[in-house]
Structure 1
C-alpha cells in the first residue's frame, strides 16, 4: 500500500465530469469531489484500484449531498466507463506498476547511482528508453527522505505579504519606543503601504522582521510624533503644552506678578525721595 496516487494534468476540469454530473443530477463540483474520494479509496485498498465498499453516507455527509446522489455519481461513472466492475478503469495504466513505498524507491535510486548512472552528464545523450528512469528520479520529490536537504530559499528575498505583521516582541518594542499603541499601529501601516508599493529588486527582503526593526529605529531618530530631536537637529515640530503644563505656567505668572508688586512697593519711597523722575536726571 502506498501513501499517494497519481493524477493527470487537466483532471479536475476534464469535460467528462460534466457529463457524469448531468447524468447524476448534481453539481459538477460534487461529482469531481466524489470521484477524487473514490480514487483515494482505490489507492488505499488492499486490491488497489477497487472502490468496493465505499461509504456513500460518509461521503454525502462530507460533501454536503445525499447518499443517493453519491450512488448516482458512481452509476454515472460506470455508464461513462470510468468505473468498471467495481474498479476504476485504467488504474494500472494511470498508476505505476512500481507501487512501492518512498523508502523503497529511494533505495532503488541509490542503487542505480552506485553502478555509475550519472544523469546530469548523460541525460542529453541518453536513448529514448532511459526516459522512464529519468521520470522516476523526478517523482521522488513528493516524498524525499529526511536526509535529503531541500533547496535553500532564494537569496533574492521575497515581497512583503499584505497580511504580514511583526512578532509580538517586535511590536511591543515599537509601542514602547514610539510612545504608545496608536503611534506603533500608525507606523506599521506606513511600513506596509511603503513596501507593498515597491516593485522589482528593491521591494524584496530576506528578513522582514529585521527590516521592521530598522524602520522603527529610523522613526525614533526622526522623532516620531513626540518631537524628539536627534544630534543633527532633524525632527518633527514639538507637541503643544499639556493642560498641566499650562496650569503650572499660569501659577508661575501669578506668583511672579505678586513678587513684582511687592518689589515695586518697597522700592517706591527711595525712588521718590531722590526727587522722582525729574530728580533722577539731576538739576
Structure 2
C-alpha cells in the first residue's frame, strides 16, 4: 500500500507532497474503522489539518483529488476487500475451524472423558467394613508415640522424667548463653523437668529442650545476682547426688527460697545516714551542719 502509484497521481493532481497524501489516507482509514457504519469517513477537514499541522486548503485539495481514486464521497472504496479473512469464522477452502466449532468439540471431548472416568469409578467401588474404616481413621489421626531413644535430633518429644541434656551439646549451649563455667544445683534441673512434664502437649527437639533449660538457668542466675544471692551450687544439672541448696525454682525463673533480711526501710536509712555523719564528725572534731 505505501508504494501504490496512485499516491503520486493524487499528489500531482492536488499539488501536495506524497507524505501529506499518505498521512491523510491513514487518518481516513482509522476513522472509517471506528465508525458505527464501518468504511464511512466522518472526520472533518479541520481536524485533519490540525493533526497534520497543515492548512485547510491543503487538506481540501488532497480530499478532492482522492475522489474517484480511493474515496467515493465519504466512503472508502475497496473497504470490504481490505478486510482480512479471519480464522474464527472458519474456511471451507483451508479447512480452518471457527472458534465456536473448536469450543463445541472441546466440550464433547471433556464430556466423553468424564463419562469414561465415571464408569471406571463404578467398577472399582467396593464397600469397606466399618472396622477397617475405623482403623484407618485412628491410624490417620493418632500420631505415633515419641521414642525417647530416637537418634534423630529433629524428632520432637514431650518432657519426661528420664530426660537428660547431652553433656557435649549442652556445654556448647551454656557457652552460647554466656554461662560457660557456671555450675547449678540439682533442684533447678528437677524443677525445670517437673514444670514441663505437667505440659505433655508441648513437644520440642532435644536442642530446643536444652535451650529452654539454659534460658531457665540464666534467668535464675540473674535473679540471684540482683537479690545479692550466689547462683552457683556444687553440682551440674542432671548429675546424681544431694544439692547443697534444697530450694526450688520454677521453670519460668520463679524462686521459693528461705526469706532473708530485706533492704532497709526509709526511716532506717535516714537513721543510718545520721549515725554515719555523727561518727565522721566525732572523728574529725567537727559539729554537724544543718543538713546533717
Task: State the TM-score, normalized to the length of structure 1.
Answer: 0.31
Task: State the TM-score, normalized to the length of structure 2.
Answer: 0.30
Please tell me whether Structure 1 or Structure 2 has the larger radius of gyration of its CA atoms.
2
